[in-house]
Amino acid sequence: MDTITEPESEHVVFVTEDGVPTGETGPKLASHHADTKLHLAFSCYVLRRSDQALLITQRALDKKVWPGVWTNSVCGHPAPHESLPDAVRRRARYEIGLPELEDLECVLPKYRYRTPPFNGIVENEFCPVFVAWVEGDPEPNPEEVGGWRWLSWPGYAQLLADDEANVSYWAKDQFEQLKDKKPFSALG
């Protein structure tokens, strides 16, 4: 599949409550609004092998959806007919400049969420959650990422518990389901 880099050319895949594609797609940016239809997405948590630190990213300030918010390593939407693992790898290359994800694994295959409105936009996603490992630092695309840092898993838990921290809804929600799953349950 060709690398899709322009948000205006990307399409989301609409799905049923069980994550089954309906056969409908819509332009990515135009599909996110106050009444966003359920669509397919993914989240990925990237861990550094040397110290098991988690890469977190801050969404660029000019993004339409959840600008400036700190979140997990990389999120995105598969293109029509693109597998989720291929979509994770494509977005990791484009968004955070990590061309090689090792041991990519889906840890929450049926994760689904709907956010409260944020700047008038509701996220409504069937969003399998992945984990992957890397050795080096990211080289983020500034159009996608405003900041990044490595945190220990306990440090990430503290960030999520801080009511003053500007953290994504889905990062907080996913943490509750991830904290007792491997590899996260073994991170110190």
- Catalogue the active-site residues: 75, 125
CB 90 within 8 A of CB 4: yes
- CA dist list (Å): 43 to 100, 159, 175: 16, 18, 12
DSSP 8-class letter at 171 = H
What tokens were used for 79?
């293109």
CB-based contact 41:77 (threshold 8 Å): yes
DSSP assignments along 21-63, one per residue: EEEEEEEHHHH-STTPPPEE-EEEEEEETTT-PEEEEEE-TT-
Residue 182 makes CB contacts below 8 A (sequence gap 6+) with 107
Strands 129-134 and 42-48: parallel
